[in-house]
Amino acid sequence: MQKTTKLPGNAQWIGDRRRATKGEPPCPYLRNSLALPGPVRRATLQWTALGVADLFLNGRKVGEDFLMPGWSDFQHRAQVMSADVSAMLRPGDNTLGAILGDGWYTGTLLWKNERNHYGTHPQLWARLDIELRDGRKVSMTTGRGWQMRTGPVIAADIYHGEIHDARLDLGDWCVPGASKAGWRAADLFAKYHGELVPKVNEAVRVTETLKPRKITEPQPGKYVFDFGQNLAGVCRLKVRGRRGQKITLKFAEMLNADGTVYRENLRLARATDTYICRGGGTEEWTPRFTFHGFRYVEVTGLHRKPSAELLTALVLHTDMAATGKFRCSNPLLNRLDRNISWGLRGNFLDVPTDCPQRDERLGWTGDAQVFVGTSAFHYDVRDFFRKWLQDLRDGQRADGAYPDVAPDVLGKYGPQQFGNAAWSDAGVICPWEIYRHYGDKKILAENYDAMKRWIGYQQRTSKDLIRPRTAYGDWLAIDAVTAQNAPVPCDLVGTAYFAHTTDLMAKIAAILGKKDDSRKFRKLHTQIVEAFRDAYVTPDGRVVGHCQTAYLLALAFDLLPTKLRPKAFAHLVDLIESRGCHLTTGFVGTPLLLPVLTRFGRTDLAYKILLQEDYPSWLYTVRNGATTMWERWNSYTKEHGFGDVGMNSFNHYAYGAVGEWMYAVIGGIRPSAPGFKKILFAPEPGGGLTSAQCELDTPLGRAACRWQLRGKTLRGEVEVPPRTNAELRLPGQRTKQLLPGHHRFDVKWTVHS
């Protein structure tokens, strides 16, 4: 995939060679001018950066993207942005310029405050191709002749924030005839060793702005702005200040009991923006090259009580189309649905990150794997995952083990950061889920060789097809002694996933017409399942670990002989009931819990668990004011306050994986063929809900299902997209075939739940 479509190669990499490589040095400004002998018919700007950049033409920013070209595995490739700039040029002199930031290339990454992960100097590469109205062609590339200097952005770092000294503003620095004072020749850098590829996924943009809901002053001179929503983004500051007045914004997800901001969970991320005023009127500023995960902002350095106009929150994420809508008669579930969606928005920022606030923000594979299906019910995530799967393949080791995070920046910590069960399996599961939702075989083909190598790796490094005890098991499960040490053994998780991904590979190979491979994978799958049964299953249907997740894996991945399934399922139900119908699952078990209960006919129990409001449960977080998904079930509890500060995020989407069940079972929309070419509408009312409505923009058009329960009548309507086969299955009724269009239903309700 991402074949290097012929990109013009003669632009050079430019930047500031004298720029310090320690601390957070100022951002270089770069520019050059070009005379056009006539009016423009068409002009295209292609550019990329080792770092991040904002480009300008004749004083105006090109486009509205943020933090581009984004984060790819710069060891292997950089993504080229392309913009039609025809309307920004004019006959005569024109100036193209850029501000260059560290971004992920040289900026801080990981939890040891390390910089320069990919290189020591950010660099820009650009090419402007112009066709004049008379047919002549003119072009301009980065290289000799470009000028540079520093300006008001005196530091910009993704984790730590940005410092802008407006006294150093350069005025109109990117227009023909601008002052030359302080500018010198830009430095040229050696050819980039990686590939340049066109950007595959949508850019990061501001998708919403929020006004503060509340402003408090918990300590004199410290104003706390509450935006009412945990999000990822930045704040726009609008202020009238004195020259040299320093205004500081500190970002936080939560408040302490005394109303001050709680920032301990950010670990080493300073998450602080600073603006130094120019003075003499209203000033507006938005940082360029950072983002924060926050709901609250503490503002200091003001001389008087601020008004709400001081700050506006700008929500930033990859600008994908929103595709799903969910509503039901239970407001807490509606809030949960919003929290899941906000969890996605807070973390789909060019790569699917674990969290957007602390010194981490990495493309953790396990998190992405459990959430990919749900994400596709909320947004069009096809290109987003296509791009990220390239990062994942770029990080794959020669022996076939995928990295824990993609782009891989952890590999340097040692071999244990590769090949972990349920994390590495993202390499197979994510393409499969994207295929299931969008029906595009290309994603399977693009990933096929890599997936095959992952299966080979597992085969070679297993003992009699039993996987070793690698990390991370059922990460953060309730009964885990340490984060990693959950009751379900890590080798069981590994072997279950080995079977599961091999099963998917047998299907994928068949879909791609690779019959021999398919047969081999099918045979291997049968052998792994046998090994699993021998090692972990007793004749009375007990599974080693005897905890919810052990049974969930065995049942969800079809690892048990048919006759033992009811027994194993009964153990699962016992375990759930012994906890007063609460979950004990972590990252691995949670996504499987409600789907398995529904599949084996206990949707009533699924509702019970979903609707719990005490700890541990989804709605416990909602009841305690969550506006996003929390990393841990006990990220905050009434009894113990904030959870383990060493690792505690309030914006971690993994437990939002329940969203798929909400769309499929409450909302009733289930893909029954890839790309929703077939849909099963099968709402299962329960949990005391009296209505629900669910919509999804599938690749073939809008699918919708709305229902109402009134006494003994279940009434509703489904909308079948064009060119789709659909079935309607209502509880206690015979399944009906439906043609595209609207269909009403009105049936007797006989199910008790």
Active-site annotation holder among 446, 631, 695, 719: 631
Q: Please report the DSSP string for 575-638 in residue order.
A: HHHHTTS-----TTTHHHHHHHHHHTT-HHHHHHHHT--SSSSHHHHHHTT-SS--SSTTSEET
Of 114-122, 167-175, 360-368, 744-752, the segment contacting ligand BGC by CB under 6 A is 360-368
Q: How far is the CB of 733 from ligand BGC (least distance, A)?
A: 42
In contact, 184 and 147? CB cutoff 8 Å: yes
Of 11-19, 354-362, 384-392, 664-672, the segment contacting ligand BGC by CB under 6 A is 354-362
Give the bridge partners for 219, in sequence order: 222
Nearer residue to ligand BGC within complex by CB, 73 or 404 = 404
Nearer residue to ligand BGC within complex by CB, 118 or 475 = 475
Tell which phi-psi region holds residue 625, choosing left (phi > 0), alpha (psi between -120 and 50) or beta.
left
In contact, 226 and 215? CB cutoff 8 Å: yes
Q: Is 569 in the site for ligand BGC (CB under 6 A)?
A: no
Of 359-367, 499-507, 675-683, 691-699, the segment contacting ligand BGC by CB under 6 A is 359-367
Tokens of 412: 């340097």
Q: Is 647 in the site for ligand BGC (CB under 6 A)?
A: yes
Nearer residue to ligand BGC within complex by CB, 483 or 556 = 483
Considering only 16, 157, 359, 367, the residue that binds ligand BGC (CB under 6 A) is 367
Nearest CA among 234, 270, 264 for reference residue 113: 270
* Chain centre distance of CA 123: 26
Please tell me the distance from the alpha carbon of residue 142 to that of residue 11, in angstroms, as a whole number: 5
Helix-helix angle 590-599:548-556, to 10 degrees: 60
Nearest CA among 499, 575, 591 for reference residue 536: 499
Nearer residue to ligand BGC within complex by CB, 388 or 607 = 388
Nearer residue to ligand BGC within complex by CB, 267 or 567 = 267
Q: Is 364 in the site for ligand BGC (CB under 6 A)?
A: yes
Q: Is 372 in the site for ligand BGC (CB under 6 A)?
A: no
Residues numbered 303 to 322 that lie near ligand BGC (CB under 6 A) are none
Is 613 designated active site? no
Please tell me the distance from the alpha carbon of residue 295 to that of residue 253, in angstroms, as a whole number: 5
Nearer residue to ligand BGC within complex by CB, 73 or 367 = 367
Please tell me the distance from the alpha carbon of residue 139 to that of residue 126, in angstroms, as a whole number: 11
Q: Which residue is nearest to ligand BGC (CB)?
A: 354
Give the bridge partners for 52, in sequence order: 101
Tokens of 294: 């926050």
Tokens of 170: 């350069």
Q: How far is the CB of 71 from ligand BGC (least distance, A)?
A: 17
Considering only 253, 273, 354, 380, the residue that binds ligand BGC (CB under 6 A) is 354
Helix-helix angle 426-438:442-460, to 10 degrees: 150
Report the chain's C-alpha Rg in angstroms: 27
Please tell me the distance from the alpha carbon of residue 43 to that of residue 54, in angstroms, as a whole number: 18
Nearest CA among 492, 593, 589 for reference residue 545: 492
Contact map string, positions 651 to 680, toward ligand BGC, x by CB under 6 A: -x----------------------------
Considering only 125, 472, 607, 653, the residue that binds ligand BGC (CB under 6 A) is 472
Q: How far is the CB of 420 from ligand BGC (least distance, A)?
A: 8
Q: Are strands 351-352 and 641-642 parallel, antiparallel or unpaired?
A: unpaired
Q: Is 360 in the site for ligand BGC (CB under 6 A)?
A: yes
Considering only 26, 161, 366, 589, the residue that binds ligand BGC (CB under 6 A) is 366
Nearer residue to ligand BGC within complex by CB, 273 or 354 = 354
Q: How far is the CB of 200 from ligand BGC (least distance, A)?
A: 24
Nearer residue to ligand BGC within complex by CB, 371 or 676 = 371
Tokens of 39: 């009016």
Total binding residues toward ligand BGC, as defined by CB under 6 A: 10
Nearer residue to ligand BGC within complex by CB, 394 or 474 = 474
Active-site annotation holder among 253, 360, 446, 719: 360
Residue ranges with strand state E in 85-136: 92-101, 123-132
Q: How many CB atoms lie within 10 A of CB 635?
A: 25
Is 433 designated active site? no
Q: How far is the CB of 96 from ligand BGC (least distance, A)?
A: 40
Q: How far is the CB of 398 from ligand BGC (least distance, A)?
A: 23
Q: How far is the CB of 415 from ligand BGC (least distance, A)?
A: 15
Please tell me the distance from the alpha carbon of residue 688 to that of residue 750, in angstroms, as a whole number: 14
Chain residues in the site for ligand BGC (CB under 6 A) = 354-355, 360, 364, 366-367, 472, 475, 647, 652
Catalytic residue ranges = 360, 631
